[in-house]
Amino acid sequence: EAMIDAGVGMGLPRTTVSELVAQTMVGAGAMLDRSGEGATELRAAVTSPGGTTAAAVRQLESNGLRRAFFDALEAAKQRSEELGATSE
Assess contact for 7 and 21: CB atoms under 8 A: yes
Asked if 68 and 60 touch (Cβ cutoff 8 Å), the reply is no
| Segment 15-23 long-range contacts (CB within 8 Å, at least 24 positions apart) | none
- Mind listing the pLDDT tens digit for each residue in 17-41? 999 999 999 999 999 999 999 999 9
pLDDT of residue 24: 95
- What is the total count of domains within the chain? 2
Q: Does one domain contain both 39 and 61?
A: no
pTM of the entire structure? 0.78
42 and 55 co-located in one domain: no
Domain region containing 1: 1-46
pLDDT at residue 88 tops 80:
no
Q: What is the pLDDT of residues 36-81, one digit of tens each?
A: 999 999 999 999 999 999 999 999 999 999 999 999 999 999 999 9
Q: Any idea what the CATH number is for the domain that residue 17 is in?
A: 1.10.3730.10
- Residue 23: predicted pLDDT: 98
Give the whole-angstrom CA distance, residue 53 versus residue 46.
Answer: 8
